């Protein structure tokens, strides 16, 4: 009678434990197991791997900081730099009425005619350019447009076959921050242009890719987000997000950020050489990496079990030979059908149960 009573009590205790979801917290083996589930229909191996959450979209080669160069005075385009040409200090972007419009370096745009007696940051900028072009040997670089400035301007104008007036007029020069690449011709030879009419579009010499993301992918547009670019030739190159393209600039490039998407500019960390020999008309693919975990233990997502009971959580069926033991695990990042798992005495190479396909 006593033996019968003990067996009934053990059966009731075991049933209660299973119902409550009590599981092994070690590696699932030995005397710690309180339940031994039936063998699963199939197994998978615990692997140590890198997990990467990413999204891949099409992109196209371009150059950073695309912006239009507009005529500020009326005239006829008699010469224009060809698309693809890189221009530097002192070179002509185009000619208007047979007179060169010269590229000078600086952050302050041309907003007035400069002449003797003027003062300002634009004068300082002009004098730096005259010095760098070799016309300022006697020039003290400051914010004053004095006799020495006027004399330097005249020497520079003679070299351009311009009338040596000593004044720098509106439409004589265009200030940019450095070298530029001509990326589009907005006015053809012999076109009549006027104020606010774009003559050509320039960009910096830094190669970039432009890619379009969905509005819901805003987290991927953060400056510095890592990407992997597959170029038209099939070569891969690392890069990072510079930021989103402003509305006007995107429109100049034929793409526009709006309610249906976000245009992102991506810098290739390999520099100019990264795109050498690539076909700029062909599309590239851009893989945005939002999160990554290196060297973690992972299993197929379908191997993870939802545990019942007051503690809940997740578990795995660890298979050893002809036995399977459920162990509690902590889950982490998921990517490409795999999920990061820790705990339960897991080791690389272990077999775990998965649903039979």
CATH assignment at residue 126: 1.10.101.10
Last residue of a domain, one of 157, 186, 203: 203
Asked if 190 and 209 sit in the same domain, the reply is no
Element (H, E) at 19: helix 2-20
Asked if 113 and 168 sit in the same domain, the reply is yes
Asked if 217 and 298 sit in the same domain, the reply is no
Mean pLDDT (the chain) is 85
Give the position of tokens 């450095």. Answer: 178
pLDDT given at position 8: 34
Structural domain contains residue 254: yes
Q: What is the number of domains present in the chain?
A: 3
Residue 219 pLDDT class (50, 70, 90 cuts): confident
Question: DSSP code of 319?
Answer: E
Taking the CA atoms of 135, 139, 140 and 142 in sequence, report the sign of the dihedral they define.
Answer: negative
Structural domain contains residue 249: yes
Asked if 185 and 113 sit in the same domain, the reply is yes
Last residue of a domain, one of 203, 219, 236: 203
Asked if 156 and 80 sit in the same domain, the reply is yes
Highest mean pLDDT among 62-76, 105-119, 242-256, 275-289: 105-119
Q: Which are the contacts of 9, defined by CB distance < 8 A and separation ≥ 6? A: none
Q: What would the two tokens of residue 331 be?
A: 């889950």
Asked if 209 and 298 sit in the same domain, the reply is no
Dump pLDDT digits (tens) for 146-205: 999 999 999 999 999 999 999 999 999 999 999 999 999 999 999 999 988 899 999 998
Asked if 83 and 193 sit in the same domain, the reply is yes
Structural domain contains residue 84: yes
Residue 247 pLDDT class (50, 70, 90 cuts): very low
What span, in angstroms and rounded, lies between the C-alpha atoms of 283 and 293?
A: 29
Asked if 146 and 80 sit in the same domain, the reply is yes
What span, in angstroms and rounded, lies between the C-alpha atoms of 263 and 254?
A: 11
What span, in angstroms and rounded, lies between the C-alpha atoms of 237 and 298?
A: 27
Taking the CA atoms of residue 19, residue 24, residue 28 and residue 34 in that order, the dihedral angle to the nearest 10 degrees is: -50
Give the domain extent around 147. 72-203
Dump pLDDT digits (tens) for 328-356: 999 999 998 999 999 989 999 999 999 87
Asked if 192 and 92 sit in the same domain, the reply is yes
Helices (H), 101-242: 121-132, 147-159
**Quick one: which of 175, 176, 136 has its CA closest to 154?**
136
Point out which residues pair with 299 in neighbouring strands: 339
Asked if 255 and 267 sit in the same domain, the reply is yes
- Written as one string, the DSSP assignment of 201-225 is EEE-S-EEEEEEE-GGGGGGGSTT-
**Quick one: which of 245, 249, 227, 247 has its CA closest to 237?**
227
What span, in angstroms and rounded, lies between the C-alpha atoms of 202 and 185?
A: 9
**Quick one: which of 97, 95, 93 has its CA closest to 75?**
97
pTM strictly above 0.75: no
Average pLDDT of 301-318? Answer: 90
For residue 96, pLDDT over 60 is answered with yes
pLDDT given at position 270: 76
Asked if 268 and 302 sit in the same domain, the reply is no
For residue 322, pLDDT over 80 is answered with yes
CA angle 174, 177, 181 (to 5 degrees): 75
For residue 248, pLDDT over 50 is answered with no
Structural domain contains residue 145: yes
Residue 138 pLDDT class (50, 70, 90 cuts): confident
Last residue of a domain, one of 242, 264, 292: 292
For residue 257, pLDDT over 60 is answered with no
pLDDT given at position 59: 94
Taking the CA atoms of 169, 172, 178 and 183 in sequence, report the sign of the dihedral they define.
Answer: positive
Q: Which are the contacts of 113, defined by CB distance < 8 A and separation ≥ 6? A: 167, 168, 169, 170
Q: Which are the contacts of 152, defined by CB distance < 8 A and separation ≥ 6? A: 127, 130, 135, 136, 138, 139
């Amino acid at each position: 009678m006593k033996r019968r009573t003990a067996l009934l009590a053990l059966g009731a205790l075991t049933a209660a434990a299973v119902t409550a979801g009590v599981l092994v917290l070690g590696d699932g083996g030995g005397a710690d197991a309180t339940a031994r589930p039936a063998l699963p229909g199939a197994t998978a191996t615990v692997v140590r791997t890198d997990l990467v959450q990413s999204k891949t979209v099409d992109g196209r080669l371009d150059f950073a900081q695309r912006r239009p160069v507009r005529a500020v005075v009326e005239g006829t385009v008699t010469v224009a730099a060809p698309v693809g040409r890189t221009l530097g200090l002192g070179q002509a972007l185009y000619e208007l009425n047979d007179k060169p419009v010269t590229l000078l370096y600086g952050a302050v745009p041309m907003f007035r005619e400069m002449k003797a007696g003027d003062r300002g940051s634009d004068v300082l900028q002009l004098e730096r350019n005259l010095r760098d072009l070799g016309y300022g040997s006697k020039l003290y670089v400051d914010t004053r447009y004095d006799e020495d400035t006027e004399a330097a301007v005249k020497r520079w104008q003679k070299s351009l076959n311009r009338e040596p007036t000593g004044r720098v007029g509106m439409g004589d020069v265009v200030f940019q921050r450095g070298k530029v690449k001509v990326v589009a011709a907005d006015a053809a030879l012999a076109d009549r242009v006027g104020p606010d009419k774009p003559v050509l579009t320039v960009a910096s010499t830094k190669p970039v890719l432009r890619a379009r993301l969905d509005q819901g992918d805003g987290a991927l547009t953060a400056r510095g987000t890592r990407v992997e670019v597959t170029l038209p030739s099939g070569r891969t190159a690392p890069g990072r997000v510079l930021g989103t393209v402003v509305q006007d600039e995107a429109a100049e490039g034929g793409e526009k950020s709006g309610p249906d998407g976000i245009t992102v500019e991506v810098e290739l960390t390999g520099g100019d050489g990264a795109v050498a020999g690539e076909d700029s008309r062909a599309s590239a693919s851009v893989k945005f990496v939002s999160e990554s975990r290196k060297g973690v233990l992972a299993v197929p997502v379908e191997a993870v079990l939802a545990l019942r009971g007051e503690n809940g959580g997740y578990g795995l069926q660890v298979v050893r030979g002809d036995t399977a033991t459920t162990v509690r695990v902590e889950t982490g990042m998921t990517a490409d059908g795999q999920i990061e798992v820790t705990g339960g005495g897991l080791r690389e190479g272990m077999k775990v149960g998965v649903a039979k396909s």
